Structure 1
């Protein structure tokens, strides 16, 4: 209550004037009190933006050193979270020893400074010797070395990021003599947390749709550092202005809460972190069944996840003022568990597990996919996103905000890292996708059930449990998935592996009897019915080399391409590198079609990221063959960058050849030229060869080397004859020297050498999904136009065919006329 003292001798009009002036002064004081809060909310919002840009940028940079594998991603995520947890604990301890806003500002400045050093430190580490050190044959040592390296590399920055939350929580509550259990303090801290999470949402969207491809991967972290530095400077300036009037108070007492009650809230905080991040992994995995799995679709799932968490925190800030906190936590956990099980049924009902193909353009596709993700993910994650802010208040009786928030969030964060790893490496491989959803829902419901019982809500708790059991039974069966292969694709499931990379299936086509290896229902690694084509992807580059003794295949799939090297007498040793371990088992099932390549004595099969293998190996090869990788899949664009081609060239022998197979039906003209220009910027001689002359699914190869190709027709004829005798599948297109040479299209000359696909600007990864959804792939009429305007105009001088020293070949014009006829037939003018 406020009082105003009035001079009794003052005139009536003067009293009105003085009253008005006092009211103005009161409003000014109130505005001054509110203004720091407004600025602190704004600062914390932008801090969230920077934090997610850091995480995305750093994970990509470290991935180039470790390899873009699930294990490497888990290492980066766990060490990032571990550093944050250290920061939460440090912030909780220091929040009472320093001015909170000043401590917050210093932490942001430390983040900005260290973020500028990380790219430099990683650049110093990207050497062959260091990569080999991080790739020991001992899995235990390799994991330990990578965890320690990544943890120490990110520790200063992640610790500083973690310090910011308890500091901000203490600042927002320090201006009032109340503990964290007070509704006002709890509401203010929850609102700040919601805004910080909303900032993280903006960070994901800005990085995915703009920063990574336009600004650059490393440069994005520098941009985030500028944002962090601005937040830090603003916080320090505000803290200095308030320093003279901030009263330092001793910390509040420990409170009267029972120890077992406090432990129960730590358990709920741990369950919230574990379950929520495990659900993020599961939802990402679930949507990979129907999406094209580009960076955009993955970014959408993360964005909706963060938006839902922010909304949940905002709801917690509002509801905790009106309802008893223990019952509210119970309702949140139980309703969130029910929503998780319903989300599985919603997903199956809306998609039918069909490949998502909404809209006629990329923007329409993204809009429709976003709505689908919102309908499935937003309800359960919004409800579960209330848990952590509610637990802060529940455990905060008699305790200061910085301590409560810091300690509980540290437990939540460590559990979140464990949840993400458990979902990837335990739940999905051992239980399966739908079963993992039901298990997590059950864990949340049990916690909520206990809290509801403690609040006398027995009927509601038991009723919800019955609903959960009924819905879970439907979710576990997932009847659409059971029958999907047979009813939709005319395929019979032979065997399935639940891998961290998704479902790996071997299926049999019921119409043709051929076998396929597929991932997540819709992505194919090849089929046995295409033996000649698959073998040709090995035969052609091997025949271009005079004596290919040591060969490397990047990618295994069905094993047909790598198996194509076995009949070549010249090949003494072959290495096949495959990212997904379960694909090796799938290829082993197809041994009668791929020459038993997985267990063949002259073939060594390695499970690794192909690029990382090249960086770490000491071996040198005569020929390196890069398989058909889906160019729009997330992070596959790094297999088409200038830096990747440089590493590959360094692993070639002096006369070695690198062959990059490209699916034109999965590329637009823009992306094809990006890849070809990047390839030609590394290899002085780049030639183009056809594998599949089919206008609906054209496949070509870029073959690079240091010198023009000199082919001896007589020697080539001998090798073709020997190959025909040794192979189990006749190849009509490679029986004669003339047929072989007719696959030569020309020599690629860079069209735009100033704009390449690089590690810093992975343009192919971000542009190909747009071309794909905008229907701009190089097929049919688009291929005809590109063939006439570009491919048929290429020079043709880098390959010479000789017989007894004399050139022997059809003219380029004759060869291209024949290619055009095969591709498009005689009906197209």
Structure 2
């Protein structure tokens, strides 16, 4: 009975342990950032504290006659310190971000990113390292002849698997990070009290002797020093293989917070299964022979996985076709795919670690030392394989290094070992010669990859289509603009630029192809900083010079490779403009850029007349998530407003605009704004030809937004709604983007012009209160007309479809040109085919808007001979 209770408590401890790793990583990322340097430093700090605890607590725990008290005390310390961290981390995060700075050296970045979490987490991680040796000692004292390492490791890892799955998929989305931390701490405290109250002391059960507790490893054929080295190397290779597999599968998976959780869940499940198999089947092994077999089997399983990986896209697509769409269906597909490739290697890894740890176990300790060496290897793996080897050697070679590394650890090589070892070695050689790159880039007919970068955090590709247009793809999923989206990209810079009277400093968060920040290149008197998380994206910007111009010659632009959230927290500069890119809310890490804490930090960056513009990709989020982000935005900018980026039905984008002061504009402000050098040409080239064309994109004021979002939650660091809810959109089969756009249009059908117009002083100000609502009505009608337009085969069919509906739109507003100019083009294109129809259309267009001369001029030019 005591054995089953101990298994239960160690299972609960495993749930809490992995839950903490996920929780603390999320909490620390808001200050340290999502750069590889920061992520690796946090992981190394976590593993480093665990390794220290495992090493230094091993012998004291093993020599103690009361391991029950040790275990209870360690669990209690973990739980209490975890509760303290819920208060400490939010208070210390801004200090850490400031210490790192906006553009730190590598040494400074690594040192602070490592030391801050290492010291902060050390009481808990140190205690975590001692739980396995303490539990193993207690277990064997109560079950003197049972070797327990494999069983305990399996149960604890199985708990870690459940902790990963439950924490990510259910607990944190439901109750937020702080309540999750309290629940996890409760598990530790429960385990501590349970062991203390329900497990008998060794005196009650009978004190074990050193002889009873010693294992076969006291007479082991392999030296302890060599086993330490093998443990370090297997930890290095095992986690290195996981890191590489995550990078490969990220090209297929949706790359949400749930994608990584799915892979980690499968990894832990396989490891637990391997440890359980070892415990059940290999209780009395011959150490050298078993070690040789397990190393060979692990290498072989990894090599088989490397071979099968070239068919990953086929498998993933087939599973999607069979299982369908929806959140849980998509998660299931990702987990099954991960299971297919990771299960066998992780089973072998779990059995291998159990054997090595059991081999070291002696009457005075050893299990903790085994855990320490393996953990240190695990901590070094992401840096070696993800940062150094992968960019230098490529995916295939680095995978083969991780797989064949196990064969180099064989304790000895005899003639009888030749054939069993030759098989995996031959597979490795064949794979090295196989022309497979493990690049999964979805290309349509005629598309080609112009350049590919296997970066530290992601793979980035420049893709050219059949029209010679270039596009930027990250991890095969996220398309970050291209040469065909210049109109939209440039307007993302122009809208906030034109709303500000005279900006001198600007900050662009997210660069993509550089087409947006190119909108301020060479702008007189303006200095602009551009922050981009992926250095590879910055390196590839010159590919898009057709859309951006030569940005290397723009002396007023400064690019920085950094995490946007940390940069905003750390910088001491103030900006007149802050423009945030179209961050895909579903992608892991983007949710922290939509929190009230981040928006508030940006508000503090703004100068007194500063403007912040957050762009939202309506084509990549549902209306519920739009409401969450908008309501969160209003917490930092109570006078916030919403604007349309353009009138695209396929890729609608929304701008949330906020400032420290209410934004109100007189009728003549835009004419004055365009009087500056070069401003008129820049604005009119991208559709902002009048104040009405700019304010005509106004969608809603703060009152309308507040009413629309009243029932929505707020996205905070403590309760990251976007992080966990936005991915459901990526996994679903949503309606067309125009459906969501028209729903917004309907919700804000009659915005109040007083929200955006200054107090009426002149006669023109009075007229603006009539002309601007007329513009909005025409805009809304224009968008609705676009939904009904079928793809025309020729200009005649287009004329028959849209001429009457667009003429009705033109009649609604004398200022709305988005319907006027298409009708001019149709009339011009129709002239060679049907002159009478062309003349008829131009005449109608003149009557629909007599204030404009373009239709009259074109009619005169086309039909001048007749006149």
Structure 1 length-normalised TM = 0.88
Q: Deviations over 1:697-729 (max 9, x none)?
A: 111101012333233554523544767678689
Correspondent of 1:755 among 683, 693, 713: 713
- Determine if the alignment matches structure 1 residue 229 to structure 2 residue 184: no
Compared with structure 1, are the counterparts of its residues 246 and 787 closer, same or farther at alpha carbon in structure 2 (3 Å cutoff)? Answer: farther
Residue of structure 2 equivalent to 1:195: 155
Q: State the match for 1:530 in structure 2.
A: 485
- Give the 3 Å change call, closer, same or farther, for CA 793–200 of structure 1 in structure 2: farther
After TM superposition, list the pairs within 5 Å mapping 1:305-316 onto structure 2: 305-316=267-278
Are 2:725 and 1:767 equivalent residues in the alignment? yes
Q: How do residues 666-705 of structure 1 correspond to structure 2 at under 5 angstroms?
A: 666-705=620-659
Partner of 1:462: 422
Q: Does the 8 A contact of 1:329 with 1:387 survive in 2?
A: yes
Match of 2:821 in 1: none
Alignment root-mean-square deviation, CA: 2.6
Give 1:42 deviation, angstroms.
0.5
Please say if 1:277 is aligned against 2:239: yes
- SS of the residue corresponding to residue 556 of structure 1 reads coil
The 1-side partners of 2:717 and 2:762 are apart by 46
Give the C-alpha shift of residue 607 in structure 1. 1.5
Structure 2: gaps spanning 5 or more residues: 789-804, 806-867
Distance 1:577-1:599 versus aligned 2 partners, 3 A rule: farther
TM-superposed deviation, 1:323: 5.0
Distance 1:253 1:717, change over 3 A: same
1:198-213 pair list within 5 angstroms: 198-213=158-173
Is the CA contact (8 Å cut-off) linking 2:303 and 2:427 kept in structure 1? no
Residue 610 of structure 1 corresponds to which residue in structure 2? 564
Q: By how many angstroms is 1:797 displaced?
A: 2.8
- 2:665 is paired with a residue of what secondary structure? strand
Indicate how the Cα distance of structure 1 residues 621 and 823 shifts in structure 2: closer, same or farther if over 3 A, else same: same
Alignment of 1:343-742 (within 5 A): 343-352=305-314, 358=321, 359-396=324-361, 399-400=362-363, 403-448=365-410, 450-451=411-412, 453-454=413-414, 456-474=416-434, 477-478=435-436, 481=439, 488=444, 490-509=446-465, 511-569=466-524, 571-591=525-545, 593-597=547-551, 600-717=554-671, 719-720=673-674, 731-742=685-696
Distance 1:471 1:334, change over 3 A: farther
Provide Cα deviations, 1:295-318, integer angstroms capped at 9, x if missing partner. 111110010001011011111112
TM superposition shift of 1:525:
1.5
Distance 1:604 1:690 in 2: 28
Decide which of 27, 34, 37 is 1:68's aligned counterpart. 34
Question: 2-side partners of 1:357 and 1:619: how far apart?
Answer: 48
Tell me if the contact between 1:685 and 1:798 (Cα under 8 Å) persists in the aligned partners.
Answer: no
Per mean C-alpha deviation after superposition, the further-off stretch among 305-314 and 334-343 is: 334-343
Distance in 2 (alpha carbons) for counterparts of 1:630 and 1:338:
39
Task: Give the secondary-structure state (helix, strand or coil) at the position aligned to 1:275.
Answer: helix
- Quick one: distance in 2 between partners of 1:311 and 1:726? 68
Cα distance in 1 between the residues matched to 2:422 and 2:433:
17
User: For 1:194-214, what per-residue CA distance to the aligned partner results, in whole angstroms no more than 9, with x for missing partners?
Assistant: 010000011101111112221
Which deviates more from structure 2 when the two are superposed, residues 531-540 or residues 520-529?
A: 520-529
Contact 1:494 1:508 in 2 (8 A): yes
Q: CA deviation at 1:248?
A: 5.9
Residue 157 (structure 1) aligned with residue 124 (structure 2): yes
- The CA distance in 2 between the partners of 1:46 and 1:741, in whole Å, is 58
Deviation sequence 1:49-71 (CA, Å, 0-9, x none): 00011111111111112112222
Deviation of residue 819 (structure 1)? Answer: 2.2
Deviation at 1:130, TM superposition (A): 4.6
Q: SS state of the match for residue 457, structure 1?
A: helix
Query: Tell me, what secondary structure is at the counterpart of 1:625?
Result: strand
Counterpart of 1:615 in 2: which secondary structure?
Answer: helix
| Superposed CA offset, 1:456-494 (max 9, x none) | 3322222332233224433xx226748x56x63633322
2:484 aligned counterpart, secondary structure: helix
8 A contact 1:532–1:729 mirrored in 2 = no
TM-score (norm 2): 0.84
Q: How many residues align?
A: 775
For the pair 1:799 / 2:756, whether they are aligned, the reply is yes
* 1:39 corresponds to 2:1: no
Task: Quote the offset at 1:629 in angstroms.
Answer: 0.6
Secondary structure at the counterpart of residue 758 of structure 1? coil
Give how far 1:346 is off.
2.5
Q: Structure 1 stretches of 5 or more lacking a match?
A: 1-34, 179-183
> How far did residue 803 of structure 1 move?
8.9
Change (3 A) 1:762 1:177: closer
- When residues 282 and 488 of structure 1 are mapped into structure 2, their CA distance, relative to the original with a 3 A threshold, is same
Query: Separation in 2 of the partners of 1:635 and 1:227?
Result: 28
**1:331 equivalent in structure 2:** 293
Counterpart CA distance in 2 for 1:638 and 1:732 is 32
1-structure distance, mates of 2:116, 2:517: 35
